[in-house]
């Protein structure tokens, strides 16, 4: 169902490639672009900043929750048909190394080559959350960019941009925008309905999102779309 006035409903997804649940939400919304009357906007932001500003912490920091999360991610990945695998050194790869350089690169892509935003984000998720590969070193980021089809000279240029105030500030601004909507974790999905912004936290709230925007939930792999992997 289209939004009032026949226009598409704007749905924004604030995400960070360090977040496996963001990947699930991202892929499902990419599929639903073909089923729902939505304009999907990708909003790369920094989960570390959201945690710091809200005083929240990654769920795995509570041991029992971390234990549950490992099982939950495996089940969700299978159900959502996303090839997510937990890195062997979860604390080292996810918590200690983090995603700041990767998210700055994605931000540079968003600012200058937005047509590559979706594949570059996906390739970085593939590295950290599927193949247990690094996403912090320049060569890792360039490899992901190459896989996404970004010409090598352009990728080098974007990598150099990641240390500029423009890119750093843009990532900060997008993170602040997510906070303004009330985000405390990721994915943070914001649907704009009749001038009102509705925040949904998690990849498991997309059915509810459908209800609020007047669209039907057809499961994580709706028939009109095919999982990309």
Ligand X SMILES: N[C@@H](CCC(=O)N[C@@H](CS)C(=O)NCC(=O)O)C(=O)O
Kindly report the backbone phi and psi dihedral angles of residue 186, in degrees, each rounded to the nearest multiple of 5, phi listed first: -140, 155
Q: How far apart are CA 136 and CA 145, in angstroms?
A: 13
Q: Which residue stretch of 1-9, 115-123, 144-152, 202-210 sits at the interface with ligand X (rule: CB under 6 A)?
A: 202-210
Cβ burial of 53 (10 Å; 0-12, 13-18, 19+) is: middle
Query: Which parts of 130-159 interact with ligand X (CB under 6 A)?
Result: none
Q: How far is the CB of 105 from ligand X (least distance, A)?
A: 20
Q: Which residue stretch of 7-15, 19-27, 153-161, 219-227 sits at the interface with ligand X (rule: CB under 6 A)?
A: 19-27
**Residue 26 makes contact with ligand X by CB under 6 A:** no
Between 20 and 49, whose beta carbon lies closer to ligand X?
Answer: 20
**Residue 93 makes contact with ligand X by CB under 6 A:** no
Question: What residue number has its CB nearest to ligand X?
Answer: 185
**Residue 99 makes contact with ligand X by CB under 6 A:** no
Strand (E) or helix (H) holding 104: helix 100-112
The SS3 call for residue 109 is helix
Between 3 and 206, whose beta carbon lies closer to ligand X?
Answer: 206
Query: Which parts of 155-194 interact with ligand X (CB under 6 A)?
Result: 184-186
19 part of the active site: yes
Q: Which residue stretch of 13-21, 99-107, 155-163, 211-219 sits at the interface with ligand X (rule: CB under 6 A)?
A: 13-21
Q: How far apart are CA 107 and CA 174, in angstroms?
A: 9
Query: Count residues contacting ligand X (CB under 6 A)?
Result: 11
- E strand map for the chain: 9-15, 38-44, 188-193, 196-201
**Residue 19 makes contact with ligand X by CB under 6 A:** yes
Per the CB < 8 A criterion, the answer to whether 191 and 10 are in contact is yes
**Residue 20 makes contact with ligand X by CB under 6 A:** yes
Which three-class secondary structure string do you get for 145-210? HHHCCCCHHHHHHHHHHCCCHHHHHHHHHHHHHHHHCCCCCCCEEEEEECCEEEEEECHHHHHHHH
Q: How far apart are CA 186 and CA 154, in angstroms?
A: 29
Per-residue binding letters, 46-85, with ligand X (x by CB under 6 A): ----------x--x--------------------------
Residues with a known catalytic role? 19
Enumerate binding residues for ligand X (CB under 6 A).
Answer: 19-21, 56, 59, 184-186, 202-204
């Amino acid at each position: 169902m289209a939004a009032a006035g026949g226009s598409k409903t704007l749905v924004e997804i604030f995400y960070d490639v360090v977040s496996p649940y963001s990947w699930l939400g991202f892929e499902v919304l990419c599929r639903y672009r073909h089923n729902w009357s939505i304009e999907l906007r990708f909003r790369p932001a920094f989960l570390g900043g959201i945690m710091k500003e809200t005083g929240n912490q990654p769920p795995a920091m509570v041991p029992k929750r971390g234990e549950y999360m490992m099982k939950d991610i495996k089940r969700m990945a299978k159900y959502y048909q996303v090839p997510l695998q937990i890195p062997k050194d979860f604390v080292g790869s996810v918590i200690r190394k983090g995603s700041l350089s990767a998210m700055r690169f994605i931000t540079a892509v968003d600012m200058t080559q937005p047509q590559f935003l979706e594949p570059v984000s996906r390739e970085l998720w593939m590295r950290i959350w599927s193949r247990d590969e690094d996403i912090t070193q320049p060569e890792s980021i360039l490899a992901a960019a190459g896989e996404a089809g970004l010409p090598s000279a352009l990728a080098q240029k974007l990598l150099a941009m990641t240390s500029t105030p423009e890119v750093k500030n843009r990532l900060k601004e997008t993170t602040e925008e997510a906070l303004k909507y009330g985000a405390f974790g990721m994915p943070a999905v914001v649907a704009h309905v009749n001038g009102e912004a509705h925040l949904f936290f998690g990849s498991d709230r997309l059915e509810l999102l459908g209800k609020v925007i007047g669209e039907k939930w057809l499961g994580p792999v709706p028939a009109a779309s095919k999982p990309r992997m």
